Structure 1
Amino acid sequence: MTFKITEGIAKYGISDYYAVLGLPLTTEPAQIRKKFLKLAKILHPDVFGKTAAEKEIATKYFSKMVSPAYQVLNSDRDRGEYLATLRIFAQGWKQKQDLEPVVLQTDIAQRLYRIPHEITYKKYVEEVAPKQYESFDTILEYSNTLSELNLVYVLTQNNLAFSAGSSSPAAASNPLPATNASNNTTAPAPQPMQSPALRNLNMAELFIGKKQWSDALKELLAAEKLDPNNAKVFALKGVVQMNQNATAIAKSSFQKALKLDPKEPTALKYINQVNAASKPPEKPPEKKGGLFGWGKK
């Protein structure tokens, strides 16, 4: 069984990360994370009722499709470079569209191609996306459909409007992908390293957001076994322990996080708070005998 999109944008050798997550190319960065956490929960192997085979399939979909897509789109720089690659691809195709007509497999993509419009594009994506992860049998089918819709949007819009944020490909500060001078082809962007504990980390953050401290700690303990040198694991453990009133243990977790990564933002944010809370209360000054503090020596 293959765990990859083969139609739409993917047909031209470019991974369609937005189609994997069931999002239009115009999605705001904040919504990308929200959708990822939703999919992480849907594909979690501990979801009640899944058979062993289903758990294995869910894990593969997450590790081979969803997680890599999120790794790119969650990074301002990587997302900006990816969207710039789509822009370059669209420009190149428009120069040779007479020689290379678009072939679309789905009726909905063909309809969009006949009458392309950004509002219609978003409407069609919103129709298809909710069906995408309803069952394992539909994931690739609807992912391919979404990629065809994305392809039509990329090729038919004169002024491409991608997701807003600092990584917009229109921003001058964003570098374009490197090109090979010999054949002028776009070099693939290096993929970011992926933690084997990424699923657990994101589920822990989901539980922390809901103040479900015990569930969050369970995920973080599992994450620590998978990635024992990940500073973020210990930083989030510190957050959970701090909210469970285990100040001394939280302090130790934050210290461990900062030992692994002195710039770990969560640990830096809370370490002073637990330091202050763990200090013993100051003793009140001893009262001296006698009137007005004058006492006998």
Structure 2
Amino acid sequence: MLGLPLNTDAAHIRKKFLKLAKILHPDVFGRTDEEKDTATKYFSKMVSPAYQVLNSDRDRGEYLATLRIFAQTQKQKGTALTLSTEIAQKLYRLPHEITYTQFVEQVAPKQYETLESILEYTATLSELNLVYLMTQSSLSFTTGSSAAAPAFSQSPSQSPSQTVAQNGNGQPSVAPKPAQSPALRNLNMAELFIGKKQWTDALKELIAAEKLDPNNAKVYALKGLVQMNQNAAAIAKVSFQKALKLDPKEPTALKYINQVSAAQAQTPAKAPEKKGGLFGWGKK
């Protein structure tokens, strides 16, 4: 509804919302009373509710987690994609984050050119989103402000032909994927908080995730990242070591474990405090 890619950050979401509020304002010059009423309804029933969800960190995180679960479920079912727009079909042939963003930016300016064009181009954007969700092998939503928590990505070793197959009718269908983690929602929320540098909230989500999925290497890698940013190098190192024990190729743990090891080595040992008397009273 806002004409933005799924991985847009909060600042751009607000900026676009304010722009649409002006476009759909009932006092826009030259509109008939009927057109003003239609514009008001689009704003109050579609644009404003969408913004209310996306403007809340928690609601946006839950919304993106729902999309991720939807995509993974459809992949497991081998659901075929039936695409009606040429640009969505083109994205399907060349599925990549950069291509997806470019295509959304091509369509979005046309979405609110006229009141009659809103539904048509919203549907086109929905198809682009669907193709993107279904052709990416890893969906980690962020606010776009942290390199530590990557946005959606397609695995470099996996081509689109490996991700999406053809069904018996010649329609594209998605190959089944392994079962999703029971801690998926908590991981998504943690990544969202990490992107906002809200370390305490991220750690709470990761502690909950660990209880739900104690053998998930990503949980411990993200815990290590959070603990590192909380200046707890020793604890962070332990978390990274747990992550690498479960998955020796876990990228976040591999990236930061040497950094926390170096920081820990540079921390001088605290000299014991000299005390005298009962409970330290009567120091000499």
TM-score, with structure 1 as normaliser: 0.49
Cα offset, 1:151, TM superposition = 0.6
> Structure 1 residue 36 and structure 2 residue 4: aligned?
no
Is the CA contact (8 Å cut-off) linking 1:83 and 1:168 kept in structure 2? no
Deviation of 1:169 (Å): 2.0
Which residue of the partner structure matches residue 222 of structure 2? none
1:115 aligns with 2:94: yes
Match status 1:135 vs 2:114: yes
Distance 1:52 1:133 in 2: 18
- Native 8 Å contact 1:112 1:120 kept in 2: yes
Q: Structure 1, residues 189-235: CA drift from partner, whole Å, max 9, x if none?
A: xxxxxxxxxxxxxxxxxxxxxxxxxxxxxxxxxxxxxxxxxxxxxxx
The residue type paired with residue 40 of structure 2 is T
Residue number among 134, 148, 152 corresponding to 1:155 in the alignment:
134
* Total equivalences in the alignment: 155
Tell me, in whole angstroms, the C-alpha distance in 2 between the residues paired with 1:156 and 1:28: 22
Could you tell me how far apart the structure 2 residues matched to 1:47 and 1:132 are?
17
Residue aligning to 2:188: 169
Across the aligned residues of Structure 1 and Structure 2, the Cα RMSD in angstroms comes to: 2.2
Deviation at residue 93 of structure 1 after TM alignment? 1.1
The Cα of 1:170 is off from its aligned counterpart by 5.6
Distance in 2 between residues matched to 1:73 and 1:149, nearest whole Å: 19
CA distance in 1, matches of 2:41, 2:187: 31
Q: Is the 8 A contact 1:46 1:55 kept in 2?
A: yes
Deviations 1:14-65 (A, max 9, x none): xxxxxx0000011111100000000000000011111111100000100111
Tell me by how many angstroms 1:133 deviates.
0.1
Which AA in structure 1 matches 2:126?
S
The answer (yes or no) to whether the contact 2:71–2:134 under 8 Å persists in 1 is: yes
In structure 2, list runs of 5 or more residues that go unmatched.
147-185, 192-201, 206-284
Question: Contact conserved, 2:58 with 2:189, CA < 8 A, in 1?
Answer: no
| Structure 2 residue 75 is the aligned partner of structure 1 residue 94 | yes
Opposite residue 67 of structure 1, the aligned amino acid is S
2:36 and 2:89 map into 1 onto residues whose CA distance is: 35
- CA distance 1:57–1:25, change in 2 (3 Å): same
Shift of 1:163: 3.8
Contact 2:62 2:189 in 1 (8 A): no
Distance (whole Å) between structure 2 residues aligned to residue 66 and residue 170 of structure 1: 24
Report if the CA contact (8 A) 1:162-1:168 is conserved.
Answer: no
Higher relative contact order, structure no. (Cα contacts within 8 Å, ≥ 6 residues apart): 1
Q: Determine if contact 1:25/1:163 at 8 Å carries over to the other structure.
A: no
Match of 2:55 among 74, 93, 108: 74
CA distance in 1, matches of 2:188, 2:125: 21
Match runs of 1:135-284 below 5 Å? 135-164=114-143, 169=188, 171=190, 173=202
Gaps of 5+ in 1: 1-19, 176-297
Structure with higher Rg: it is: 1
What SS does the aligned partner of 1:92 have?
Answer: helix
The residue identity in structure 1 corresponding to 2:16 is K
Is 1:65 aligned to residue 65 of structure 2?
no
User: Are the equivalent residues in 1 in contact too, given 2:92–2:131 (CA < 8 A)?
Assistant: yes
Deviations 1:246-287 (A, max 9, x none): xxxxxxxxxxxxxxxxxxxxxxxxxxxxxxxxxxxxxxxxxx
Q: Take 1:124 and 1:170, find their aligned partners in 2: how far apart are those partners?
A: 27
Which of residues 73, 90, 103 is equivalent to 1:124? 103
Counterpart Cα distance in 2 of 1:72 and 1:104: 27
Structure 2 residue aligned with 1:221: none
Q: Partner letter of residue 188 of structure 2?
A: P
Asked if 1:51 is matched to 2:32, the reply is yes
